[in-house]
Amino acid sequence: MISEVRPGVFWVHPPAGGEMYVVKTTAGLVLVDSGFFEHRELILDDLRQAGLDPREIALAFITHAHCDHIGGMGWWQQEFGVPVVAHMHAADPIEQADRIVTAAELPFANISSALLPCPVAHRVQGGETFTVGERSFEVIYAPGHTIGSIHILSGQELFVGDTVYANGGIGWVDIHWGSNPEDYVETLERMRKFLGKLALAGHGEPYELLMHHIEQAKSFASFYILPAHGFGMPRVPSAY
Strand ranges inside the chain, DSSP E: 2-6, 9-12, 20-25, 28-32, 57-61, 84-87, 105-106, 111-112, 122-124, 129-132, 135-141, 150-154, 157-161, 198-201, 207-208
Name the minimum Å distance from CB 203 to Zn ion.
Answer: 6
- Position 19 contacts Zn ion (CB under 5 A): no
- Position 68 contacts Zn ion (CB under 5 A): yes
Q: Considering the complex, state which of residue 196 and residue 204 has its C-beta at the smaller distance from Zn ion.
A: 204
- Position 143 contacts Zn ion (CB under 5 A): no
List the interface residues with Zn ion, window 175-214 (CB under 5 A): 202
Task: State which of residues 98, 157, 162, 186 lies at the interface with Zn ion (CB under 5 A).
Answer: 162
- Position 71 contacts Zn ion (CB under 5 A): no
Name the minimum Å distance from CB 161 to Zn ion.
Answer: 7
Q: Considering the complex, state which of residue 24 and residue 66 has its C-beta at the smaller distance from Zn ion.
A: 66
- Position 66 contacts Zn ion (CB under 5 A): yes
User: What Å distances lie between residue 94 and 59, 91, 156, CA to CA?
Assistant: 16, 5, 28
- Position 39 contacts Zn ion (CB under 5 A): no
CA dist., res. 120 & res. 86, Å (int): 7
The three-state secondary structure class of 213 is: helix
